[in-house]
Structure 1
Protein backbone atom coordinates (compact mmCIF):
# COMPACT_ATOMS: atom_id res chain seq x y z
CA UNK A 1 0.00 0.00 0.00
CA UNK A 2 2.87 2.35 0.84
CA UNK A 3 4.45 1.80 -2.57
CA UNK A 4 1.13 2.38 -4.30
CA UNK A 5 0.69 5.61 -2.34
CA UNK A 6 4.18 6.80 -3.25
CA UNK A 7 3.59 6.04 -6.93
CA UNK A 8 0.26 7.88 -6.87
CA UNK A 9 1.90 10.93 -5.34
CA UNK A 10 4.67 10.75 -7.94
CA UNK A 11 2.20 10.61 -10.83
CA UNK A 12 0.24 13.54 -9.38
CA UNK A 13 3.48 15.54 -9.15
CA UNK A 14 4.24 14.75 -12.80
CA UNK A 15 0.80 15.94 -13.88
CA UNK A 16 1.34 19.22 -12.01
CA UNK A 17 4.76 19.62 -13.62
CA UNK A 18 3.67 18.85 -17.18
CA UNK A 19 0.57 21.05 -17.07
CA UNK A 20 2.43 23.93 -15.43
CA UNK A 21 5.28 23.83 -17.93
CA UNK A 22 2.87 23.43 -20.84
CA UNK A 23 0.79 26.47 -19.87
CA UNK A 24 3.98 28.51 -19.57
CA UNK A 25 4.49 28.51 -23.37
CA UNK A 26 1.48 30.69 -24.25
CA UNK A 27 2.03 32.70 -21.04
CA UNK A 28 5.56 33.54 -22.16
CA UNK A 29 4.31 34.50 -25.61
CA UNK A 30 1.91 36.97 -23.97
CA UNK A 31 4.68 38.43 -21.80
CA UNK A 32 6.96 38.93 -24.81
CA UNK A 33 4.52 41.53 -26.12
CA UNK A 34 5.58 43.78 -23.24
CA UNK A 35 9.03 42.70 -22.02
CA UNK A 36 12.00 41.29 -23.99
CA UNK A 37 12.72 37.56 -23.60
CA UNK A 38 16.02 37.38 -21.70
CA UNK A 39 15.12 40.06 -19.19
CA UNK A 40 11.65 38.63 -18.58
CA UNK A 41 12.82 35.05 -18.14
CA UNK A 42 15.86 36.05 -16.11
CA UNK A 43 13.83 38.20 -13.71
CA UNK A 44 11.27 35.46 -13.13
CA UNK A 45 14.00 32.87 -12.63
CA UNK A 46 15.97 34.99 -10.16
CA UNK A 47 12.83 35.66 -8.14
CA UNK A 48 12.06 31.94 -8.13
CA UNK A 49 15.62 31.20 -7.00
CA UNK A 50 15.19 33.45 -3.96
CA UNK A 51 11.86 31.82 -3.09
CA UNK A 52 13.22 28.27 -3.47
CA UNK A 53 16.31 29.16 -1.43
CA UNK A 54 14.06 30.38 1.37
CA UNK A 55 12.03 27.15 1.20
CA UNK A 56 15.26 25.10 1.28
CA UNK A 57 16.53 26.97 4.31
CA UNK A 58 13.17 26.57 6.01
CA UNK A 59 13.33 22.82 5.34
CA UNK A 60 16.77 22.64 6.92
CA UNK A 61 18.71 22.14 3.67
CA UNK A 62 22.10 23.79 3.60
CA UNK A 63 22.74 26.38 0.89
CA UNK A 64 26.51 26.06 1.20
CA UNK A 65 28.24 24.83 -1.98
CA UNK A 66 30.48 21.83 -1.18
CA UNK A 67 34.18 22.22 -1.87
CA UNK A 68 35.06 21.31 -5.44
CA UNK A 69 31.44 21.53 -6.64
CA UNK A 70 31.34 25.19 -7.73
CA UNK A 71 32.63 24.51 -11.27
CA UNK A 72 30.18 21.68 -11.88
CA UNK A 73 27.36 23.82 -10.48
CA UNK A 74 28.18 26.69 -12.85
CA UNK A 75 28.39 24.41 -15.90
CA UNK A 76 25.11 22.76 -14.96
CA UNK A 77 23.46 26.17 -14.55
CA UNK A 78 24.80 27.33 -17.91
CA UNK A 79 23.29 24.34 -19.72
CA UNK A 80 20.18 23.54 -17.69
CA UNK A 81 19.06 27.12 -17.05
CA UNK A 82 20.77 29.71 -19.26
CA UNK A 83 20.70 27.64 -22.46
CA UNK A 84 17.50 25.69 -21.77
CA UNK A 85 15.38 28.60 -20.58
CA UNK A 86 17.12 31.41 -22.45
CA UNK A 87 17.29 29.74 -25.87
CA UNK A 88 13.76 28.34 -25.66
CA UNK A 89 12.42 31.79 -24.77
CA UNK A 90 14.39 33.49 -27.55
CA UNK A 91 12.98 30.99 -30.04
CA UNK A 92 9.50 32.45 -29.55
CA UNK A 93 10.55 35.67 -31.25
CA UNK A 94 10.31 33.67 -34.49
CA UNK A 95 8.06 30.72 -33.59
CA UNK A 96 4.58 30.31 -32.24
CA UNK A 97 4.24 28.94 -28.71
CA UNK A 98 3.08 25.58 -30.06
CA UNK A 99 5.96 25.28 -32.53
CA UNK A 100 8.52 26.15 -29.85
CA UNK A 101 7.09 23.67 -27.34
CA UNK A 102 7.10 20.85 -29.87
CA UNK A 103 10.71 21.46 -30.94
CA UNK A 104 12.12 21.93 -27.44
CA UNK A 105 10.55 18.72 -26.16
CA UNK A 106 12.38 16.61 -28.72
CA UNK A 107 15.04 16.66 -25.98
CA UNK A 108 14.60 12.97 -24.94
CA UNK A 109 15.48 11.84 -28.48
CA UNK A 110 18.71 13.83 -28.48
CA UNK A 111 19.50 12.46 -25.02
CA UNK A 112 19.15 8.93 -26.38
CA UNK A 113 21.51 9.67 -29.27
CA UNK A 114 24.05 11.47 -27.07
CA UNK A 115 24.00 8.60 -24.56
CA UNK A 116 25.10 6.36 -27.40
CA UNK A 117 27.93 8.72 -28.34
CA UNK A 118 29.24 9.58 -24.86
CA UNK A 119 28.27 6.62 -22.69
CA UNK A 120 28.56 3.85 -25.24
CA UNK A 121 24.91 2.84 -24.90
CA UNK A 122 23.73 0.74 -27.82
CA UNK A 123 21.72 2.75 -30.34
CA UNK A 124 18.65 0.62 -30.87
CA UNK A 125 16.41 0.40 -33.89
CA UNK A 126 13.65 1.94 -31.77
CA UNK A 127 15.78 5.01 -31.07
CA UNK A 128 16.57 5.45 -34.77
CA UNK A 129 12.91 5.04 -35.73
CA UNK A 130 11.99 7.51 -33.00
CA UNK A 131 14.34 10.11 -34.45
CA UNK A 132 12.88 9.56 -37.92
CA UNK A 133 9.34 10.07 -36.58
CA UNK A 134 10.39 13.28 -34.80
CA UNK A 135 11.98 14.63 -38.00
CA UNK A 136 8.79 13.74 -39.86
CA UNK A 137 6.73 15.61 -37.26
CA UNK A 138 8.90 18.72 -37.56
CA UNK A 139 8.71 18.44 -41.34
CA UNK A 140 4.92 18.34 -41.21
CA UNK A 141 4.86 21.34 -38.85
CA UNK A 142 6.99 23.54 -41.08
CA UNK A 143 6.53 21.85 -44.44
CA UNK A 144 4.21 24.48 -45.86
CA UNK A 145 6.58 27.35 -45.12
CA UNK A 146 8.52 26.84 -48.33
CA UNK A 147 11.55 29.05 -48.94
CA UNK A 148 10.35 31.57 -46.37
CA UNK A 149 11.42 29.12 -43.66
CA UNK A 150 15.03 30.24 -43.93
CA UNK A 151 14.08 33.87 -43.36
CA UNK A 152 11.14 33.76 -40.98
CA UNK A 153 11.55 30.66 -38.86
CA UNK A 154 15.12 29.37 -39.02
CA UNK A 155 16.57 31.43 -36.10
CA UNK A 156 13.75 30.25 -33.85
CA UNK A 157 14.20 26.62 -34.93
CA UNK A 158 17.93 26.79 -34.21
CA UNK A 159 17.38 28.32 -30.76
CA UNK A 160 14.71 25.74 -29.87
CA UNK A 161 16.75 22.77 -31.07
CA UNK A 162 19.86 24.26 -29.45
CA UNK A 163 18.04 24.40 -26.11
CA UNK A 164 16.88 20.78 -26.51
CA UNK A 165 20.31 19.54 -27.59
CA UNK A 166 22.26 21.32 -24.84
CA UNK A 167 19.83 20.24 -22.12
CA UNK A 168 20.10 16.66 -23.37
CA UNK A 169 23.89 16.95 -23.35
CA UNK A 170 23.80 18.20 -19.77
CA UNK A 171 21.71 15.26 -18.60
CA UNK A 172 24.21 12.85 -20.15
CA UNK A 173 27.66 14.26 -19.36
CA UNK A 174 27.16 16.34 -16.20
CA UNK A 175 26.85 14.45 -12.95
CA UNK A 176 24.52 15.93 -10.29
CA UNK A 177 26.14 18.04 -7.60
CA UNK A 178 26.40 16.71 -4.07
CA UNK A 179 23.81 19.18 -2.79
CA UNK A 180 20.24 18.89 -1.50
CA UNK A 181 17.73 19.12 -4.38
CA UNK A 182 16.11 22.45 -3.50
CA UNK A 183 19.44 24.12 -2.77
CA UNK A 184 20.85 22.88 -6.06
CA UNK A 185 17.83 24.22 -8.00
CA UNK A 186 18.05 27.60 -6.24
CA UNK A 187 21.75 27.98 -7.07
CA UNK A 188 21.32 26.85 -10.67
CA UNK A 189 18.44 29.27 -11.23
CA UNK A 190 20.39 32.15 -9.70
CA UNK A 191 23.62 31.45 -11.61
CA UNK A 192 21.82 30.79 -14.91
CA UNK A 193 19.37 33.71 -14.71
CA UNK A 194 21.78 36.44 -13.62
CA UNK A 195 23.47 36.60 -17.08
CA UNK A 196 20.01 36.79 -18.69
CA UNK A 197 19.18 39.87 -16.62
CA UNK A 198 22.54 41.49 -17.37
CA UNK A 199 22.29 40.79 -21.12
CA UNK A 200 18.68 41.94 -21.11
CA UNK A 201 19.56 45.28 -19.51
CA UNK A 202 22.57 45.84 -21.79
CA UNK A 203 21.07 44.81 -25.13
CA UNK A 204 17.29 44.54 -24.84
CA UNK A 205 16.70 47.82 -22.94
CA UNK A 206 13.49 46.76 -21.20
CA UNK A 207 10.94 49.38 -20.21
CA UNK A 208 9.67 48.55 -16.75
CA UNK A 209 6.63 50.78 -17.26
CA UNK A 210 5.58 48.70 -20.29
CA UNK A 211 4.42 45.86 -18.05
CA UNK A 212 0.62 45.90 -17.85
CA UNK A 213 -1.44 44.33 -15.04
CA UNK A 214 -1.99 41.30 -17.32
CA UNK A 215 1.75 41.09 -17.97
CA UNK A 216 2.45 41.35 -14.25
CA UNK A 217 0.02 38.49 -13.62
CA UNK A 218 1.88 36.38 -16.20
CA UNK A 219 5.17 37.20 -14.45
CA UNK A 220 3.75 36.07 -11.12
CA UNK A 221 2.49 32.84 -12.70
CA UNK A 222 5.81 32.16 -14.44
CA UNK A 223 7.76 32.77 -11.24
CA UNK A 224 5.60 30.73 -8.89
CA UNK A 225 4.36 27.86 -11.06
CA UNK A 226 6.81 26.83 -13.85
CA UNK A 227 9.99 27.86 -12.03
CA UNK A 228 8.85 27.21 -8.47
CA UNK A 229 6.10 24.65 -8.02
CA UNK A 230 6.96 22.65 -11.15
CA UNK A 231 10.63 22.25 -10.32
CA UNK A 232 9.80 21.19 -6.76
CA UNK A 233 7.14 18.73 -7.97
CA UNK A 234 9.55 17.40 -10.63
CA UNK A 235 12.17 16.50 -8.03
CA UNK A 236 9.47 15.07 -5.79
CA UNK A 237 8.36 12.83 -8.67
CA UNK A 238 11.91 11.68 -9.36
CA UNK A 239 12.20 10.52 -5.74
CA UNK A 240 9.14 8.29 -6.18
CA UNK A 241 9.22 7.10 -9.79
CA UNK A 242 11.78 5.62 -12.19
CA UNK A 243 13.43 8.24 -14.45
CA UNK A 244 12.02 6.58 -17.59
CA UNK A 245 8.47 6.93 -16.27
CA UNK A 246 9.08 10.57 -15.40
CA UNK A 247 10.52 11.27 -18.85
CA UNK A 248 7.54 9.67 -20.56
CA UNK A 249 5.17 11.84 -18.54
CA UNK A 250 6.78 15.04 -19.86
CA UNK A 251 5.26 14.16 -23.25
CA UNK A 252 2.14 15.85 -21.87
CA UNK A 253 3.93 19.21 -21.88
CA UNK A 254 3.97 19.95 -25.64
CA UNK A 255 0.36 18.74 -25.92
CA UNK A 256 -0.73 21.15 -23.20
CA UNK A 257 1.38 23.90 -24.77
CA UNK A 258 -0.07 23.49 -28.27
CA UNK A 259 -3.69 23.25 -27.09
CA UNK A 260 -3.33 26.13 -24.61
CA UNK A 261 -1.74 28.33 -27.28
CA UNK A 262 -4.63 27.59 -29.64
CA UNK A 263 -7.20 28.50 -26.98
CA UNK A 264 -5.51 31.58 -25.49
CA UNK A 265 -3.63 32.99 -28.50
CA UNK A 266 -5.69 31.74 -31.40
CA UNK A 267 -2.76 29.78 -32.85
CA UNK A 268 -3.61 27.19 -35.52
CA UNK A 269 -4.81 23.82 -34.28
CA UNK A 270 -5.83 21.71 -37.24
CA UNK A 271 -4.89 18.51 -39.02
CA UNK A 272 -1.29 19.64 -39.62
CA UNK A 273 -0.69 20.45 -35.93
CA UNK A 274 -2.31 17.20 -34.74
CA UNK A 275 -0.26 15.19 -37.24
CA UNK A 276 2.97 16.91 -36.19
CA UNK A 277 2.15 16.28 -32.53
CA UNK A 278 1.33 12.64 -33.19
CA UNK A 279 4.53 11.93 -35.14
CA UNK A 280 6.80 13.81 -32.74
CA UNK A 281 5.35 12.39 -29.53
CA UNK A 282 5.29 8.87 -30.99
CA UNK A 283 8.95 9.29 -31.91
CA UNK A 284 9.90 10.47 -28.42
CA UNK A 285 7.91 7.67 -26.79
CA UNK A 286 9.58 5.10 -29.03
CA UNK A 287 13.05 6.47 -28.27
CA UNK A 288 12.38 6.40 -24.53
CA UNK A 289 10.93 2.90 -24.51
CA UNK A 290 13.13 0.35 -22.79
CA UNK A 291 13.04 -3.43 -23.23
CA UNK A 292 11.02 -5.29 -20.66
Structure 2
Protein backbone atom coordinates (compact mmCIF):
# COMPACT_ATOMS: atom_id res chain seq x y z
CA UNK A 1 0.00 0.00 0.00
CA UNK A 2 1.37 3.38 -0.92
CA UNK A 3 2.02 5.70 2.00
CA UNK A 4 0.42 9.12 1.75
CA UNK A 5 1.55 12.21 3.58
CA UNK A 6 -1.24 13.73 5.63
CA UNK A 7 -1.66 16.13 8.54
CA UNK A 8 -4.82 14.33 9.67
CA UNK A 9 -4.78 11.96 12.62
CA UNK A 10 -6.53 8.58 12.82
CA UNK A 11 -9.56 8.38 15.03
CA UNK A 12 -9.34 6.52 18.30
CA UNK A 13 -11.59 3.80 16.84
CA UNK A 14 -9.21 3.28 13.92
CA UNK A 15 -6.28 3.09 16.30
CA UNK A 16 -8.06 0.54 18.49
CA UNK A 17 -8.75 -1.60 15.43
CA UNK A 18 -5.11 -1.40 14.37
CA UNK A 19 -3.83 -2.39 17.79
CA UNK A 20 -6.36 -5.24 18.03
CA UNK A 21 -5.59 -6.62 14.58
CA UNK A 22 -4.04 -10.12 14.64
CA UNK A 23 -1.66 -8.97 11.89
CA UNK A 24 -0.05 -6.50 14.27
CA UNK A 25 2.79 -8.09 16.22
CA UNK A 26 3.61 -7.29 19.82
CA UNK A 27 6.68 -5.37 18.67
CA UNK A 28 4.55 -3.33 16.26
CA UNK A 29 2.07 -2.51 19.00
CA UNK A 30 4.91 -1.34 21.22
CA UNK A 31 6.25 0.89 18.43
CA UNK A 32 2.81 2.43 17.81
CA UNK A 33 2.20 3.05 21.52
CA UNK A 34 5.68 4.54 21.91
CA UNK A 35 4.99 6.88 18.98
CA UNK A 36 1.71 7.98 20.54
CA UNK A 37 3.47 8.66 23.85
CA UNK A 38 6.18 10.68 22.08
CA UNK A 39 3.53 12.73 20.26
CA UNK A 40 1.79 13.43 23.57
CA UNK A 41 5.06 14.74 25.02
CA UNK A 42 5.55 17.03 22.03
CA UNK A 43 1.99 18.32 22.34
CA UNK A 44 2.74 19.23 25.97
CA UNK A 45 6.05 20.91 25.09
CA UNK A 46 4.50 22.84 22.20
CA UNK A 47 1.74 24.06 24.52
CA UNK A 48 4.38 26.03 26.44
CA UNK A 49 4.38 28.58 23.60
CA UNK A 50 0.71 29.68 23.53
CA UNK A 51 0.54 29.64 27.32
CA UNK A 52 3.58 31.95 27.48
CA UNK A 53 2.11 34.16 24.75
CA UNK A 54 -1.13 34.38 26.73
CA UNK A 55 0.77 35.78 29.72
CA UNK A 56 2.53 38.25 27.42
CA UNK A 57 -0.67 40.30 26.95
CA UNK A 58 -0.95 40.98 30.68
CA UNK A 59 2.75 41.72 31.24
CA UNK A 60 2.93 44.05 28.24
CA UNK A 61 -0.26 45.90 29.20
CA UNK A 62 0.71 46.35 32.84
CA UNK A 63 4.47 47.00 32.76
CA UNK A 64 5.75 48.00 29.30
CA UNK A 65 5.55 51.40 27.56
CA UNK A 66 2.55 51.68 25.27
CA UNK A 67 3.76 54.49 23.01
CA UNK A 68 6.80 52.76 21.50
CA UNK A 69 5.56 49.70 19.60
CA UNK A 70 8.57 49.45 17.28
CA UNK A 71 11.10 49.65 20.10
CA UNK A 72 8.91 47.34 22.18
CA UNK A 73 8.98 44.70 19.45
CA UNK A 74 12.73 45.11 18.89
CA UNK A 75 13.56 44.95 22.61
CA UNK A 76 11.46 41.82 22.89
CA UNK A 77 13.15 40.07 19.96
CA UNK A 78 16.82 41.09 20.17
CA UNK A 79 17.71 39.79 23.67
CA UNK A 80 15.85 36.56 22.90
CA UNK A 81 17.79 36.11 19.68
CA UNK A 82 21.13 36.81 21.37
CA UNK A 83 20.41 34.35 24.20
CA UNK A 84 19.58 31.60 21.70
CA UNK A 85 22.62 32.46 19.58
CA UNK A 86 24.84 32.04 22.65
CA UNK A 87 23.30 28.61 23.23
CA UNK A 88 23.29 27.43 19.61
CA UNK A 89 26.68 28.87 18.58
CA UNK A 90 25.88 28.33 14.91
CA UNK A 91 25.61 30.64 11.95
CA UNK A 92 23.49 30.38 8.80
CA UNK A 93 25.02 28.81 5.71
CA UNK A 94 24.21 29.36 2.05
CA UNK A 95 20.53 29.99 1.37
CA UNK A 96 19.82 30.21 5.10
CA UNK A 97 21.12 33.77 5.29
CA UNK A 98 18.23 34.82 3.07
CA UNK A 99 15.76 32.44 4.68
CA UNK A 100 16.57 33.73 8.16
CA UNK A 101 15.91 37.26 6.93
CA UNK A 102 12.57 36.32 5.34
CA UNK A 103 11.38 34.36 8.37
CA UNK A 104 12.57 37.07 10.75
CA UNK A 105 10.66 39.67 8.77
CA UNK A 106 7.46 37.59 8.77
CA UNK A 107 7.50 35.91 12.18
CA UNK A 108 9.03 38.77 14.16
CA UNK A 109 9.12 42.22 12.55
CA UNK A 110 5.77 42.38 10.75
CA UNK A 111 3.94 40.09 13.14
CA UNK A 112 4.96 41.89 16.35
CA UNK A 113 4.03 45.32 14.95
CA UNK A 114 0.64 44.17 13.58
CA UNK A 115 -0.24 42.52 16.89
CA UNK A 116 0.59 45.74 18.73
CA UNK A 117 -1.52 47.82 16.32
CA UNK A 118 -4.47 45.44 16.67
CA UNK A 119 -4.24 45.47 20.46
CA UNK A 120 -4.29 49.27 20.45
CA UNK A 121 -7.23 49.59 18.04
CA UNK A 122 -9.47 46.70 19.12
CA UNK A 123 -10.89 45.27 22.32
CA UNK A 124 -8.78 42.30 23.35
CA UNK A 125 -11.75 39.96 22.90
CA UNK A 126 -12.29 40.95 19.26
CA UNK A 127 -8.58 40.84 18.39
CA UNK A 128 -8.24 37.41 20.00
CA UNK A 129 -11.29 36.12 18.14
CA UNK A 130 -9.82 37.19 14.78
CA UNK A 131 -6.49 35.55 15.66
CA UNK A 132 -8.34 32.36 16.61
CA UNK A 133 -8.94 31.69 12.90
CA UNK A 134 -5.21 30.85 12.74
CA UNK A 135 -5.57 27.05 13.20
CA UNK A 136 -7.81 26.70 10.15
CA UNK A 137 -5.55 29.06 8.17
CA UNK A 138 -2.47 27.03 9.12
CA UNK A 139 -4.19 23.83 7.99
CA UNK A 140 -5.03 25.30 4.58
CA UNK A 141 -1.54 26.73 4.05
CA UNK A 142 0.04 23.45 5.20
CA UNK A 143 -2.16 21.59 2.71
CA UNK A 144 -0.78 23.78 -0.07
CA UNK A 145 2.89 24.05 0.96
CA UNK A 146 3.48 20.79 2.85
CA UNK A 147 0.90 18.42 1.31
CA UNK A 148 -0.49 17.91 4.83
CA UNK A 149 -4.14 17.35 4.03
CA UNK A 150 -6.26 18.17 7.10
CA UNK A 151 -8.17 15.21 8.47
CA UNK A 152 -11.73 15.22 9.75
CA UNK A 153 -10.53 15.31 13.37
CA UNK A 154 -8.44 18.43 12.70
CA UNK A 155 -11.31 20.24 10.96
CA UNK A 156 -13.79 19.33 13.70
CA UNK A 157 -11.22 20.32 16.32
CA UNK A 158 -10.64 23.69 14.63
CA UNK A 159 -14.37 24.42 14.46
CA UNK A 160 -14.89 23.34 18.08
CA UNK A 161 -11.94 25.36 19.35
CA UNK A 162 -12.95 28.46 17.38
CA UNK A 163 -16.48 28.23 18.78
CA UNK A 164 -15.03 27.96 22.27
CA UNK A 165 -12.79 31.00 21.84
CA UNK A 166 -15.72 33.01 20.50
CA UNK A 167 -17.83 31.96 23.47
CA UNK A 168 -15.07 32.98 25.90
CA UNK A 169 -14.02 36.27 24.40
CA UNK A 170 -16.46 37.80 21.94
CA UNK A 171 -18.36 40.70 23.49
CA UNK A 172 -20.03 42.26 20.48
CA UNK A 173 -19.07 44.56 17.62
CA UNK A 174 -19.60 48.00 19.08
CA UNK A 175 -16.56 50.21 18.78
CA UNK A 176 -14.81 47.86 16.36
CA UNK A 177 -12.17 49.60 14.23
CA UNK A 178 -11.87 48.46 10.62
CA UNK A 179 -8.10 49.18 10.55
CA UNK A 180 -7.79 47.20 13.77
CA UNK A 181 -9.60 44.22 12.29
CA UNK A 182 -7.36 44.42 9.21
CA UNK A 183 -4.25 44.57 11.42
CA UNK A 184 -5.38 41.56 13.45
CA UNK A 185 -6.27 39.59 10.32
CA UNK A 186 -2.93 40.56 8.79
CA UNK A 187 -1.07 39.37 11.89
CA UNK A 188 -2.94 36.07 11.74
CA UNK A 189 -2.14 35.54 8.05
CA UNK A 190 1.51 36.60 8.37
CA UNK A 191 2.15 34.34 11.37
CA UNK A 192 0.34 31.35 9.83
CA UNK A 193 2.28 31.67 6.57
CA UNK A 194 5.57 32.33 8.37
CA UNK A 195 5.17 29.34 10.68
CA UNK A 196 4.32 26.94 7.84
CA UNK A 197 7.22 28.31 5.80
CA UNK A 198 9.47 27.66 8.81
CA UNK A 199 8.25 24.06 8.96
CA UNK A 200 8.85 23.59 5.22
CA UNK A 201 12.34 25.09 5.17
CA UNK A 202 13.60 23.75 8.48
CA UNK A 203 13.03 20.00 7.98
CA UNK A 204 16.16 18.36 9.36
CA UNK A 205 17.68 21.68 10.38
CA UNK A 206 18.76 23.00 13.77
CA UNK A 207 15.65 24.45 15.44
CA UNK A 208 17.52 26.42 18.11
CA UNK A 209 19.87 28.14 15.64
CA UNK A 210 17.09 28.81 13.15
CA UNK A 211 14.91 30.41 15.84
CA UNK A 212 17.86 32.48 17.11
CA UNK A 213 18.60 33.94 13.68
CA UNK A 214 14.92 34.64 12.98
CA UNK A 215 14.60 36.67 16.18
CA UNK A 216 17.90 38.47 15.63
CA UNK A 217 17.11 39.31 12.01
CA UNK A 218 13.63 40.52 12.95
CA UNK A 219 15.04 42.81 15.64
CA UNK A 220 17.70 44.20 13.29
CA UNK A 221 14.98 45.05 10.77
CA UNK A 222 13.01 46.88 13.46
CA UNK A 223 15.74 48.92 15.17
CA UNK A 224 16.51 51.42 12.35
CA UNK A 225 12.80 51.83 11.63
CA UNK A 226 12.13 52.45 15.32
CA UNK A 227 14.92 55.05 15.49
CA UNK A 228 13.56 56.84 12.42
CA UNK A 229 9.90 56.78 13.47
CA UNK A 230 9.97 56.89 17.28
CA UNK A 231 13.23 58.72 17.95
CA UNK A 232 15.38 57.83 20.98
CA UNK A 233 14.58 54.62 22.88
CA UNK A 234 12.13 55.02 25.76
CA UNK A 235 13.40 55.28 29.33
CA UNK A 236 12.67 52.06 31.20
CA UNK A 237 11.95 51.65 34.89
CA UNK A 238 13.18 48.69 36.91
CA UNK A 239 9.79 46.99 36.60
CA UNK A 240 9.80 47.53 32.83
CA UNK A 241 13.28 46.00 32.56
CA UNK A 242 12.15 42.94 34.53
CA UNK A 243 9.04 42.70 32.37
CA UNK A 244 11.12 42.89 29.19
CA UNK A 245 13.33 40.15 30.62
CA UNK A 246 10.32 37.89 31.11
CA UNK A 247 8.77 38.72 27.73
CA UNK A 248 12.07 38.22 25.92
CA UNK A 249 13.34 35.06 27.63
CA UNK A 250 10.11 33.19 28.43
CA UNK A 251 7.43 34.52 26.05
CA UNK A 252 9.82 34.79 23.10
CA UNK A 253 13.03 32.72 23.30
CA UNK A 254 11.54 29.72 25.09
CA UNK A 255 8.11 29.99 23.49
CA UNK A 256 9.30 30.29 19.89
CA UNK A 257 11.81 27.46 20.32
CA UNK A 258 9.11 25.12 21.66
CA UNK A 259 6.66 26.23 18.96
CA UNK A 260 9.03 25.66 16.05
CA UNK A 261 10.24 22.37 17.55
CA UNK A 262 6.62 21.25 17.74
CA UNK A 263 6.01 22.34 14.15
CA UNK A 264 8.92 20.15 13.08
CA UNK A 265 7.57 17.02 14.78
CA UNK A 266 3.76 17.38 14.72
CA UNK A 267 1.23 18.02 11.94
CA UNK A 268 0.70 21.74 11.35
CA UNK A 269 -3.02 21.37 12.06
CA UNK A 270 -2.30 19.94 15.49
CA UNK A 271 0.11 22.76 16.33
CA UNK A 272 -2.43 25.34 15.16
CA UNK A 273 -5.06 23.91 17.48
CA UNK A 274 -2.62 23.97 20.40
CA UNK A 275 -2.31 27.71 19.75
CA UNK A 276 -5.90 28.14 20.96
CA UNK A 277 -4.48 27.87 24.49
CA UNK A 278 -3.26 31.46 24.03
CA UNK A 279 -6.63 33.22 24.58
CA UNK A 280 -7.56 30.63 27.21
CA UNK A 281 -4.46 31.60 29.20
CA UNK A 282 -5.30 35.28 28.82
CA UNK A 283 -8.79 34.80 30.23
CA UNK A 284 -7.63 32.63 33.13
CA UNK A 285 -4.81 35.04 33.99
CA UNK A 286 -7.26 37.92 33.97
CA UNK A 287 -9.46 36.00 36.39
CA UNK A 288 -6.70 34.93 38.79
CA UNK A 289 -4.42 38.00 38.72
CA UNK A 290 -6.66 40.89 37.68
CA UNK A 291 -9.71 39.69 39.61
CA UNK A 292 -11.99 39.51 36.58
CA UNK A 293 -15.12 37.39 36.92
CA UNK A 294 -15.17 34.01 35.15
CA UNK A 295 -18.68 33.43 33.83
CA UNK A 296 -20.47 30.17 33.05
CA UNK A 297 -20.24 31.07 29.36
CA UNK A 298 -16.47 31.41 29.61
CA UNK A 299 -16.19 28.06 31.41
CA UNK A 300 -18.20 26.42 28.62
CA UNK A 301 -15.93 28.07 26.07
CA UNK A 302 -12.86 26.81 27.92
CA UNK A 303 -14.25 23.29 27.74
CA UNK A 304 -14.82 23.60 23.99
CA UNK A 305 -11.28 24.87 23.39
CA UNK A 306 -9.71 22.02 25.34
CA UNK A 307 -11.94 19.58 23.46
CA UNK A 308 -10.79 21.05 20.15
CA UNK A 309 -7.13 20.68 21.13
CA UNK A 310 -7.73 17.07 22.20
CA UNK A 311 -9.50 16.26 18.92
CA UNK A 312 -6.54 17.53 16.92
CA UNK A 313 -3.93 15.55 18.85
CA UNK A 314 -2.19 13.07 16.54
CA UNK A 315 -2.75 9.40 17.25
CA UNK A 316 0.62 8.15 16.07
CA UNK A 317 3.72 9.39 14.32
CA UNK A 318 4.08 8.94 10.59
CA UNK A 319 7.62 8.37 9.40
CA UNK A 320 8.94 11.00 7.06
CA UNK A 321 12.33 11.44 5.48
CA UNK A 322 14.73 13.64 7.43
CA UNK A 323 17.16 15.43 5.19
CA UNK A 324 20.62 16.13 6.48
CA UNK A 325 20.89 19.37 8.49
CA UNK A 326 21.70 22.23 6.16
CA UNK A 327 20.49 25.26 8.07
CA UNK A 328 23.52 26.24 10.09
CA UNK A 329 27.16 25.49 10.66
CA UNK A 330 29.19 25.76 13.81
CA UNK A 331 31.44 28.81 13.81
Question: For this structure pair, what is the TM-score category when the shorter chain's length is used for normalisation?
Answer: 0.7 to 0.9
Answering whether residue 49 of structure 2 is matched by residue 25 of structure 1, we say: no
Report the equivalent of 2:245. 220
Superposition pairs for residues 47-196 of structure 1, below 5 Å?
47-57=79-89, 62-63=90-91, 65-116=92-143, 141-142=169-170, 144-146=172-174, 148-149=175-176, 151=177, 154-173=178-197, 175-177=200-202, 179-196=205-222
| Deviation for aligned residue 1:253 | 2.0
After superposition, the Cα gap between the structure-2 partners of 1:223 and 1:83, relative to the gap in structure 1 and judged at 3 Å, is same
Q: SS where residue 74 of structure 2 aligns?
A: helix
CA distance in 1, matches of 2:262, 2:148: 25
Retained in 2: the 8 A contact 1:98–1:257?
A: no
Task: Extract unaligned runs of 5+ from structure 2.
Answer: 1-29, 317-331
Equivalent residue for 2:255, pick from 218, 227, 230: 230
Q: SS where residue 70 of structure 2 aligns?
A: helix
After superposition, the Cα gap between the structure-2 partners of 1:157 and 1:273, relative to the gap in structure 1 and judged at 3 Å, is farther
| Deviation for aligned residue 1:53 | 0.3
How many pairs were matched up?
A: 280
Retained in 2: the 8 A contact 1:98–1:261?
A: no
Q: SS where residue 201 of structure 2 aligns?
A: coil
Retained in 1: the 8 A contact 2:267–2:314?
A: no
Select between 21-30 and 108-117 the one with higher mean Cα deviation. 108-117
| Deviation for aligned residue 1:185 | 0.9
Retained in 2: the 8 A contact 1:25–1:101?
A: no
Q: SS where residue 95 of structure 2 aligns?
A: coil
| Deviation for aligned residue 1:279 | 6.7
Equivalent residue for 1:38, pick from 70, 85, 93: 70
CA distance in 2, matches of 1:185, 1:125: 31
| Deviation for aligned residue 1:258 | 2.2
Retained in 2: the 8 A contact 1:96–1:267?
A: no
Select between 66-75 and 4-13 the one with higher mean Cα deviation. 4-13
CA distance in 2, matches of 1:182, 1:124: 30
After TM superposition, the score normalised by the length of structure 1 is 0.75
Q: SS where residue 244 of structure 2 aligns?
A: helix
> What RMSD, in angstroms, separates the aligned Cα atoms of the two structures?
3.9
Equivalent residue for 2:223, pick from 190, 197, 201: 197
Retained in 1: the 8 A contact 2:158–2:273?
A: no
Retained in 1: the 8 A contact 2:195–2:260?
A: no
Report the equivalent of 2:24. none
Retained in 1: the 8 A contact 2:65–2:72?
A: no
